[in-house]
Amino acid sequence: MSVLRAVLLCSILLSGAALAKPAQLTLNDSDYFEAQGLNVLVFSNWYNGLFDDSKISGVEIIHHGVRTVTNGDVRLHSTPEQWDKIPAFIERKVDRETGTIEAFLHYPDYEFNYSIRVQSTGDGVQIAVNLPKAVPEALAGKAGFNLEFIPSAYFEKGFLIDGKPGAFPVYPSGRRELDYRAPRALAKGHNLVLGAGDAERQISIASEGLELALYDGRGKAQNGWFVVRSVLPAGKTGDVLTWKLSANVEKNWLRTPVIGHSQLGYHPSQQKVAVLELDKNDRSNDKVSLVRINNDGSTKVVAKGRAEPWGSYKRYNYRTFDFSKVTATGLYKLQYGKVETAPFMIAEDVYKNAWHPSLDVYMPVQMDHMLINEAYRVWHGASHLDDALQAPVDHKHFDLYAQGPTTDTPYKPGEHIPGLNVGGWYDAGDYDIRTQTQYRTVEKLVDAWETFQPKRDVTLVDYPRKYVDLHVPDGKLDILQQVEHGAIALLAQFDAVGHAIPGIIVPTLAQYTHLGDGLTMTDNMVYNPKMGELENNGKQSGVFDDRWAFTSESSKLNYGSVSGLAAASRALKGHNDTLAKACLDTALKAWRKEQNREPVVFDFGNTTGGPLESERFAAAVQLLLTSGGQQEFLDVVQASLPAMGEKFLFAVNHIMAAYPYMDDAHKQQVRAMAETYAAEMRAKLDANPYGVTITEGGWAGNGWVMLEAMSHYKLLKAFPDLFSKEDVYRGMNYLLGTHPDSDRSFVSGVGTVSKNVAYGMNRANFSFISGGVVPGVLILKPDLPENREDWPFFWGQNEYVVNMAAYFVYFALAVDDLATAQ
């Protein structure tokens, strides 16, 4: 049987060779190695500064348009996890004469310096690790050169190592790898062919001297990759490791064109422009067809023509096809050559229900301290009813939380703080309650309520039973129930410790990386250190699994929470009058406390509030609205306008909310700010073919796109001579499919083809939560737009965050308001 399998794999390999051959790589002007169908990057990107390893660094390979390999670097474990040690980057040198890129790095804790040199060899690259000094004794047998291969690219494919066949497992089996230094290899040898015989994915590695080992990192964690590794030899200097790497490419390979369009569709009167994204070597110039799908299933071409050249952006060329003249209600699809889109609508009510999945499903699923039921499915139990223990002082935690030198509370480190086990949403794909997220979510939901009055009831919320049932009306408006849930959590902080806190998060990485039901993270009993681990009395236990409350006081967080509570107090009148009064009383008390003292400064990561002047301004605006224009708050708002002009886009929502209360002189200031911003915005429209700002940080920019478009909606209402409806529509088109890399909607469940694999609590299932909004297209330097649908664990591209869903609720309602007002 083994002989037959070897013969079969070898025959596949030979047949694949007829379709593909090793790429001839050269060093291009963007400082990476390139062939048609293959790119090799060498430290073009760096590990994420906030969250360590985000799989975007070292030697990387883009194979037939897909980044399949990353993290080619010296690491200290065979299958390193996100928080394992990473080296510090020193410099990168590009030598065009020799066709070489060399990166210099070190591990400062071990005084271990090295370089990684990559040189084109014509039919591939040579990778060498050079050591000026031998591997330190403490790292002997631990330091090795790793190259990581994304599992989804190699599922259902085979490998050969020294001629011996093997297959990549779709799912790991066997023991969980707990010994980081000696995991079990899938195979070992000196000549490895991955994806053997596969025309798209075959990569070969030959090692001179040192043994290659192939590992499956998923044996340790679900987000692990396949890793090829050679341990660096002890006692040697100079080039201690040399690999020869080659990758097969299909002859004259071209990336399949992408027809960017809204997966949901368009209002008849809005502009309708498809954006074609083409391989830079694609010389085709087929006509684009808009095809109408008739009632009987037949089709008819209703518009056809050549797409207009737009130019290049990053690594692709672009063309646009305008079909705005087509206004008839119906179901359509676009065609270009052999590429055909999924059906989309043109209809007057196209946006009417777009916000439903976010409010009906995603927001309830994220509700903490409640059991969330959906028909036959339980999303999670009523988790974290043991919240929360006082965090230890002088402690820097993961996920950007920290505790200062004091607790700023009556509680000692490790002591239970009662009253924090209510309300709040899981912040993102993990299980912390980040206060900054909570108050922004509340504010935006209130904004949506007050602006559009969405009266929808399809969710049952039963607080006495800590029970939520999706798709079951309970006679109460869902948006107000969500506002209520956020307000309860904000209010609980002030009731418990007298001020807003950075947030609540699990104490250990083992809990933080938990996937699945949040209820199973804790026993829901308050930790009692005097009890044994197996002891409990039904309310307390000896199990140390309670989340920590990080409680360092920050004026920024206090002001931010004031804004959320003041907004909630208005929306909750008539829904929960007792809570509404408590919210306003607490907001006013906290405001006056801050106004009568010097600001308390505590900064760490992204959990301690936004800029002080912005948070104060937001609080003043919300109290101005709640008080009906009280002069005390108006004075603060108007005095803050110049500072807000410097952050205009971030402040637009609050500026325009306060605008009706301002005197004429300050209204003129706002008008001038809007004029300046409008001119700047118009000047940037041609920066890419999509007419929105595409950010290039480690977290993709859908939040920015929504911020822009929502701001344009607010400004359009006040200054219709400066802004147009298309300034708003462009953001929605981008979010729903008119963007780089693919035509997939970035809002799960919205549009015909949407995100089906995302970084939510169910990411290990390669699944999604309807209504969640992912960060979107991540721009990897120097020129790769990426959003992966085959690998949910790229959090910078695919992680849902609860406030983004609230923003989308508002955004979709705003776009529908524009569409219905035609």
User: What CATH code is carried by the domain that includes residue 10?
Assistant: 2.70.98
Please give the Cα distance from 804 to 802 (Å, whole number).
Answer: 5
pLDDT at 45 over 90: yes
User: Residue 664 domain-assigned?
Assistant: yes
**Over residues 227-231, mean pLDDT:** 98
Q: Is 696 helix (H, G, I), strand (E, B) or coil?
A: coil
pLDDT at 10 over 60: no
User: Residue 351 domain-assigned?
Assistant: no
User: Residue 815 domain-assigned?
Assistant: yes
The count of structural domains within the chain is: 3
- pLDDT score for 332: 98
pLDDT at 240 over 70: yes
**DSSP characters over 713-774:** HHHHHH-TTT--HHHHHHHHHHHTT-SSS---BSBTTSSSSB--S-BSTTGGGT---TT-B-
- The CB density around residue 29, as the number of other CB atoms within 10 Å, is 8
pLDDT at 678 over 90: yes
User: Residue 37 domain-assigned?
Assistant: yes
Residues 465, 323 share a domain: no
Angle between helices 802-820 and 702-718 in degrees, nearest 10: 40
Please give the Cα distance from 670 to 652 (Å, whole number).
Answer: 9
Would you put residue 315 in left (φ > 0), alpha (ψ -120 to 50) or beta? alpha
Contacts of 27 (CB under 8 A, 6+ apart): 33, 34, 94, 96, 99, 100, 101, 120
Question: For the domain that residue 592 is a member of, what is the CATH number?
Answer: 1.50.10.10
Q: For residue 319, what are its two tokens?
A: 């063309």
- The CB density around residue 150, as the number of other CB atoms within 10 Å, is 20
- pLDDT score for 822: 66
Residues 608, 547 share a domain: yes
Q: For residue 416, what are its two tokens?
A: 């239970």
- At 15, the pLDDT band (50, 70, 90 cuts) reads very low
- At 9, the pLDDT band (50, 70, 90 cuts) reads very low
Residues 531, 452 share a domain: yes
Tens-place pLDDT, residues 379-394: 999 999 999 999 999 9
pLDDT at 738 over 60: yes
- Residue 122 DSSP class: S
Q: For residue 33, what are its two tokens?
A: 């190695």
Please give the Cα distance from 686 to 204 (Å, whole number).
Answer: 42
Residues 145, 97 share a domain: yes
**Which residue in 376, 159, 132 sits closest to 239, CA to CA?**
132
Question: Whole-number mean pLDDT of the chain?
Answer: 95
User: Residue 732 domain-assigned?
Assistant: yes
Residue pair 375/514 in contact (Cβ under 8 Å)? The answer is no
200 alpha carbon, distance to own chain's centre: 28
Q: For residue 38, what are its two tokens?
A: 């293959």
Tens-place pLDDT, residues 485-536: 999 999 999 999 999 999 999 999 889 988 989 999 999 999 999 999 999 9
Residues 214, 79 share a domain: yes
Radius of gyration, alpha carbons of the chain: 28
Residues 103, 35 share a domain: yes
- The CB density around residue 352, as the number of other CB atoms within 10 Å, is 14
- pLDDT score for 8: 36
User: Residue 11 domain-assigned?
Assistant: yes
Q: Is 247 helix (H, G, I), strand (E, B) or coil?
A: strand
Residues 61, 19 share a domain: yes
**Which residue in 105, 83, 801 sits closest to 396, CA to CA?**
83
User: Residue 308 domain-assigned?
Assistant: yes
Question: For the domain that residue 262 is a member of, what is the CATH number?
Answer: 2.60.40.10
**Which residue in 596, 571, 600 sits closest to 583, CA to CA?**
571
Contacts of 6 (CB under 8 A, 6+ apart): 163, 164, 165
User: 213 lies in which domain range?
Assistant: 2-250
- Residue 785 DSSP class: E
Please give the Cα distance from 709 to 350 (Å, whole number).
Answer: 18
Q: Which of 190, 224, 250 finishes a domain?
A: 250
Residues 293, 175 share a domain: no
Tens-place pLDDT, residues 144-190: 999 999 999 999 999 999 999 999 999 988 777 665 556 789 999 99
- pLDDT score for 147: 98
Please give the Cα distance from 723 to 681 (Å, whole number).
Answer: 10
- pLDDT score for 298: 97
- Residue 546 DSSP class: P
Tens-place pLDDT, residues 653-665: 999 999 999 999 9
Residues 103, 227 share a domain: yes
Q: Is 562 helix (H, G, I), strand (E, B) or coil?
A: helix
Residues 362, 340 share a domain: no
Q: Which of 250, 280, 304 finishes a domain?
A: 250
Please give the Cα distance from 140 to 235 (Å, whole number).
Answer: 9
**Which residue in 622, 601, 597, 626 sits closest to 611, CA to CA?**
601
Residue pair 60/68 in contact (Cβ under 8 Å)? The answer is no
Residue pair 483/572 in contact (Cβ under 8 Å)? The answer is yes
Identify the helix (H) or strand (E) that includes residue 709. helix 702-718
Residues 364, 222 share a domain: no
Please give the Cα distance from 3 to 742 (Å, whole number).
Answer: 42
pLDDT at 6 over 80: no
Q: Percent of the chain beyond pLDDT 90?
A: 92
Residue 537 burial class via C-beta count within 10 angstroms: exposed 0-12, middle 13-18, buried 19 and up: exposed
Q: Percent of the chain beyond pLDDT 70?
A: 96
Residues 86, 61 share a domain: yes
Q: Which of 250, 274, 304 finishes a domain?
A: 250
Residue count of the chain: 822
**Which residue in 149, 157, 145 sits closest to 216, CA to CA?**
149
